[in-house]
Amino acid sequence: MTISTERFTFTRDGDQLVGNLFLPEGTPTGVVVTTGPLTSVKEQAAGVYAQALARRGFAALAFDHRTFGESEGEPRQLEDPLGKAADISAAITALQGDARFADSAVLAIGVCAGGGYMARAVADDPRIKAFAGVAGVYADAAANPADPAVVERGRKARELRLATGEVETIPAVAADNGDVAMPLTEAFEYYGTPRGVVPNYTNGFAVESFEHTAGFDAQEAAARLSVPFLLVHSEHALVPPWAHKFYAAVASPKSELWLDSVGQIDFYDDPRLIEPAADAAAALFRDVC
């Protein structure tokens, strides 16, 4: 299916957020909001899945969260899971305010860290009618409690910014997997090379993000989901035990699709994973539209 793309902007707390809205030919079946991996921007995994759903007849939005990419917000590169969930709700408000989508079912896809963030958004926002998590990282604060030293590092960085205006950052990825946000070789092979880098992406992570990410918990949202849920994952992706635990706790209608990936990152750009994941999500979404 031929799709078109338009710039879509909205605000949260006075900051403008910028998205790409992908539109199918004709009347869309529903409207999908996507969110992607840690530090990512709309031209990466979130955009890939938004385009895949648009090709299947849905309007789909991928956007830069506050402090990332083309969107406003300070400090830059602040990774705040609950803040990102609030961005999602702001996106939904904007989409429902568009006459084209006022009566459309709102649907959700979260990829990687965005799976956990989206879980919280879906549990807290009754406007979302179905949710697909693709290679989701469903952080488990009970099994993996925050390291006090990491939280303290984030607190000191925040206090430094407030006192001096200096934003302490570290790379998101590096070849040596040193002091970085994502110490994974496959993450560097995506974000640190032409494979995944795009002009809108910044290889950076505000250190004060640790105050928000270290104690984040997605697992608690599982039991609060009240809409149909699809889990797409792989035993070779990140922390499959968290995915299994999250899925087991979901009491709403649910289904799962386990694919054979190389690791985590190929879910971002490998059609052998993207196409079946998008097919399964589209099937779920059509059932509620």
Q: Express each pLDDT in 127-145 by its tens digit.
A: 999 999 999 999 999 999 9
Q: What was the pLDDT predicted at 26? A: 94
70: tokens are: 């083309």
144: tokens are: 């993996």
The pTM is what? 0.97
Q: Express each pLDDT in 80-133 by its tens digit.
A: 999 999 999 999 999 999 999 999 999 999 999 999 999 999 999 999 999 999
Q: What was the pLDDT predicted at 111? A: 98
- Distance, in Å, from the CA atom of 124 to the CA atom of 165, rounded to the nearest integer, reads 33
Q: Express each pLDDT in 210-258 by its tens digit.
A: 999 999 999 999 999 999 999 999 999 999 999 999 999 999 999 999 9
Q: What was the pLDDT predicted at 237? A: 98
- Distance, in Å, from the CA atom of 200 to the CA atom of 11, rounded to the nearest integer, reads 19
Q: What was the pLDDT predicted at 1? A: 81
Q: Express each pLDDT in 139-188 by its tens digit.
A: 999 999 999 999 999 999 999 999 999 999 999 999 999 999 999 999 99
DSSP string covering 206-263: EGGGHHHHTT---HHHHTT--S-EEEEE-TTSS-HHHHHHHHHH--SSEEEEE---SS
Q: Express each pLDDT in 4-49 by its tens digit.
A: 999 999 999 999 999 999 999 999 999 999 999 999 999 999 999 9
Q: What was the pLDDT predicted at 22? A: 98
3-class secondary structure per residue, 14-68: CEEEEEEEEEECCCCCCEEEEECCCCCCCCCHHHHHHHHHHCCCCEEEEECCCCC
- Distance, in Å, from the CA atom of 266 to the CA atom of 154, rounded to the nearest integer, reads 30
